[in-house]
């Protein structure tokens, strides 16, 4: 099916001669010349650096805060209204404030990504920690396991599926915010390149940027799936064993 769609796009774009839809062969040539050349250093690397830093910080903060709020129910009740308000606030809406607070450098872009990533991970971690079987936690306390052992071998594995769901959702949000943050007061990045190409009517370069973003999203999702299978290998094995026994 993808090959058929690409073939149709190729034939139609070559014959249409439309201003806003340049021929696909030209787009692919521009793609190779741009992203396998200086564009990779000037635009792709800064974007991926900001995404990686912001995503990792956001996931770490979300998991840490989620574990704390999941265990301390009274604290969750106190801060829950503020969390719900912050979660409902669209991250792109805080761009003006982020620019005033952090400037227009990489710090602003990383900060916006962190803000978008942290809440899905945090909320899913809270739900995952609260969903741990009470008997498992009681058994850990009966055996007087140290707190860090309970965290590593009881809480995090049990809440792992929920945390992974939040992390997967946050990855798409992080890519979106990576692009949006580069379209405002920026001089580098894939988002800046694509918007600048649109503003200067360089539609071939604009489509090359859009193709790269789609390809990056696909590859990141594929890589996340590999990491997910590695982290949750115990759950996949248990599901297979349950299916075979049934």
Specify the higher pLDDT residue, 16 or 162.
162
The pLDDT tens digits for 143-196 are: 777 877 788 888 888 888 899 999 999 999 999 999 999 988 788 899 999 999
On whether the CB atoms of residues 52 and 60 are closer than 8 A, the answer is no
Structural domain includes residue 161: yes
Structural domain includes residue 100: yes
- Average the pLDDT over 116-137 and give the result: 88
- Average the pLDDT over 223-245 and give the result: 67
Residue 234: per-residue pLDDT: 61
Q: How far apart are CA 89 and CA 96, in angstroms?
A: 13
Using the predicted structure, report yes or no on whether residue 82 has a pLDDT greater than 70.
Answer: yes
CATH number at residue 117: 1.10.3720.10
Using the predicted structure, report yes or no on whether residue 218 has a pLDDT greater than 80.
Answer: yes
Residue 241: per-residue pLDDT: 46
Q: What is the pTM of this model?
A: 0.87
Structural domain includes residue 17: no
Structural domain includes residue 192: no
Give the domain range for residue 62.
45-183
Q: How many domains does the chain have?
A: 1
Torsion (CA) 89, 94, 95, 99 in degrees, nearest 10: -160
User: Could you tell me the two tokens for 127?
Assistant: 């739900």
């Amino acid at each position: 099916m993808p090959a058929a769609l690409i073939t149709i796009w190729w034939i139609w774009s070559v014959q249409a001669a439309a201003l806003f839809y340049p021929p696909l062969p030209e787009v692919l040539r521009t793609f190779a010349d741009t992203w396998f050349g200086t564009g990779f250093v000037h635009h792709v690397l800064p974007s991926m650096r900001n995404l990686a830093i912001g995503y990792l910080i956001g996931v770490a903060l979300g998991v840490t805060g989620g574990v704390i709020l999941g265990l301390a129910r009274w604290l969750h009740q106190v801060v829950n209204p503020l969390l719900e308000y912050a979660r409902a606030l669209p991250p792109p809406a805080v761009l003006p404030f982020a620019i005033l607070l952090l400037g227009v450098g990489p710090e602003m872009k990383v900060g916006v990504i962190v803000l978008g990533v942290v809440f899905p991970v945090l909320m899913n971690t809270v739900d995952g920690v609260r969903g741990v079987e009470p008997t498992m936690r009681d058994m850990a306390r009966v055996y007087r396991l140290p707190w860090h052992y309970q965290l590593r071998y009881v809480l995090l594995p049990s809440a792992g599926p929920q945390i992974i769901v939040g992390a997967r959702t946050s990855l798409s949000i992080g890519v979106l915010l990576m692009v949006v943050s580069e379209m405002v007061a920026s001089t580098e990045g894939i988002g800046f390149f694509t918007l600048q190409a649109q503003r200067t009517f360089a539609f071939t370069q604009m489509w090359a940027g859009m193709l790269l973003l789609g390809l990056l999203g696909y590859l990141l999702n594929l890589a996340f799936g590999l990491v997910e299978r590695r982290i949750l290998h115990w759950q996949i094995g248990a599901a297979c064993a349950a299916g075979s026994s049934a």
